Homo-oligomer: A and B are copies of this chain.
Amino acid sequence: MSPKITTELLKQLRQVMKNPRFVQEPVQAYIVPSGDAHQSEYIAPCDCRRAFISGFDGSAGTAIVTEQHAAMWTDGRYFLQAAHQMDSNWTLMKMGLKDTPTQEDWLVSVLPEGSKVGVDPFIIPADQWKRMSKALRSAGHDLVPVKENLIDTIWTDCPQRPCKPLITLDLSYTGVSWRDKIVALRSKMAERKVMWFVVTALDEVAWLFNLRGSDVEYNPVFFAYAVIGMNTIRLFIDGDRMMDPAVREHLQLDSTLEPEFKIQVLPYGSILSELQAVGAGLSPKEKVWLSDKASYALTEAIPKAYRYLTPYTPICIAKAVKNAAETEGMRRAHIKDAVALCELFNWLEKEVPKGTVTEIVASDKAEEFRSQQKDFVELSFATISSTGPNGAIIHYKPVPETNRTLSVNEIYLLDSGAQYKDGTTDVTRTMHFGTPSAYEKECFTYVLKGHIAVSAAIFPNGTKGHLLDSFARSALWDCGLDYLHGTGHGVGSFLNVHEGPCGISYKTFADEPLEAGMIVSDEPGYYEDGSFGIRIENVVLVIPAETKYNFKNRGSLTFEPLTLVPIQTKMIDVNLLTEKERAWVNEYHGQCRAVVGAELERQGRHEALRWLLRETEPLAPAP
């Protein structure tokens, strides 16, 4: 992968930063955040402005360009990738390392006195604006909104904003109708005494209306906003997708409805002016509820005294706790996904020794097997198919320049998942098709111990996920090893593969407590730069636990793995496992056999079934 040459682009950007056609006053720095106007993690090609200007296309990163410098902040998952993709115009700022300055501190250190720092007010979340603006102001600079996006002015071949057809989901998938979701939302609004709720996150719009789309790759969402009043529903969406009879029927657009459930459809681009009108018409005490991560532009549309901002919206919290229909859907999706991966690993075992399987071939084959499963829609993220040293690039995606051939001499790491109409999957397995070294097995076993420590953890109701993060690291830490990413993220139900408000990470503190029905990933890893990467990831469901004393009726929770794919026993050094850990592996593999075995049988996939049976042989005790 050769870096993108950005000298000319940066020159152009620095010109428009001073061009009165685009900026009221010249800006001495311009911030290019990662997200889109909905603060999405995965974005449409037209929103990949940071990748356009820098070449770095990982899912997280912020670019800042000044007259002299260009700097990129990203986290441990992307240090290697960013370093590979960016040319020498760029300085990589490794977030999470002690000596890395914050964006604010860096700006203050490089800017001339009294500078203006520009940013697109639709792209920057209000909470970030506030923090950044305050820090800059206290150092004598100003953060200023630049209405026209400056990257767009130099991006001559910028793709169109997508506007694809919608999918309607019935009750068998969602468990709750959109009307009932609106009722529940309004009751939360009444509790907090707010009159309006602005839905800005794409997955929240999709979840609320039981609709899905494909405007953004991997995330089944569509570009839209919604504004919910106590008696009105406004949906801001473009294109002829509202002409689709199935969608009209689903949203009851042509039915005679109680007025409070009548959906008013408005153009996507009219959100700001409509919201400004709402803001202008508020009586005292009429509050408007927004996420504190909504864009600065939309937040500013509501006068400050009328805003009610929270880090997590009631939709975000409701969406995280899956109901029975959603949980059952997730189970079905994971069984199908396991079938596809048993097929894949069986196939790889035969093909890898021939030396013809590259990372891209393996990745395509995984997609092929998945697409054979019922209700398959698309992948849930770009497959990380990586062998040998590529495995140490935490969010690697194989491209022709880096595409490596799988061999019997290297570790292979596959982190992949799919969107099925009944659920979203995300699984990582680390395999060796030859004979792993003692060191590789040692590291793999520590990672496995960490995985089990989280998966089998028992904890009281009300515990926040971040408190479980160090369980995943303990075995690694004992030997002086660690990994520079969180241990788990929330997973949507046929929605975004990364969703809030829960997770398992040392980096957050403001996560909501885990509760039964939430779904998160459990994915510790270990990465040896230049050599190999190891990660073991299951998606797990939070369930009530049985404990001897049950926290004096406060209640106990634990996890149940939804992912049911064998963990390669060849990679395990059984001597390093405790008796309990060995029993966990055997019990897990027993589940894989019973549940996925039955489905393989049903689908007539006998060879993959034989592979599954062999791979799930119980581990014998250490000699």
Contacts and interface: CB of A to CB of B under 8 A. Distances in A.
Interface of A: 98, 138, 305, 457-460, 462, 464, 467-471, 473-474, 477-482, 506, 509, 513, 547-551, 554, 556, 578
Instruction: Please classify the interface of chain A as helix (H, G, I), strand (E, B), loop, or mixed, using the class held by over half of its residues.
Output: mixed
28 contacts: A98-B462, A138-B305, A457-B474, A457-B477, A458-B477, A458-B478, A459-B470, A460-B477, A460-B480, A460-B482, A467-B470, A467-B506, A470-B470, A470-B471, A471-B474, A477-B556, A478-B547, A479-B547, A479-B548, A480-B547, A480-B549, A480-B550, A480-B551, A480-B556, A481-B549, A481-B551, A482-B551, A509-B509
A577 B577 CA distance: 17
A101 to B, nearest CB: 13
Contacts of A480: 458, 460, 547-551, 556
Contacts of A547: 477-480
A349 B305 CA distance: 66
Contacts of A467: 469-470, 506
A56 to B, nearest CB: 24
Contact of A549 (B462, B479, B513): B479
Contacts of A459: 470, 473, 477
A471 B98 CA distance: 24
A520 to B, nearest CB: 16
A462 B98 CA distance: 8
User: Which A-B residue pairs are the 10 nearest by beta carbons?
Assistant: A480-B547, A509-B509, A480-B549, A480-B550, A479-B548, A467-B470, A480-B551, A459-B477, A458-B477, A460-B482
A478 B480 CA distance: 26
A605 to B, nearest CB: 39
A445 B481 CA distance: 29
A140 to B, nearest CB: 8
A516 to B, nearest CB: 15
Contacts of A468: 470
Contacts of A473: 459
Nearest to A284: B140
A76 to B, nearest CB: 12
Contacts of A551: 480-482
A457 B480 CA distance: 11
A135 to B, nearest CB: 12
Contacts of A305: 138
A376 to B, nearest CB: 38
Nearest to A138: B305
Contacts of A457: 474, 477
A479 to B, nearest CB: 4
A563 B98 CA distance: 32
A493 B554 CA distance: 39
A442 to B, nearest CB: 9
A548 B457 CA distance: 26
Nearest to A306: B138
Contacts of A550: 480
A107 B462 CA distance: 25
A478 B460 CA distance: 9
Contacts of A458: 477-478, 480
Nearest to A508: B509
A118 B551 CA distance: 39
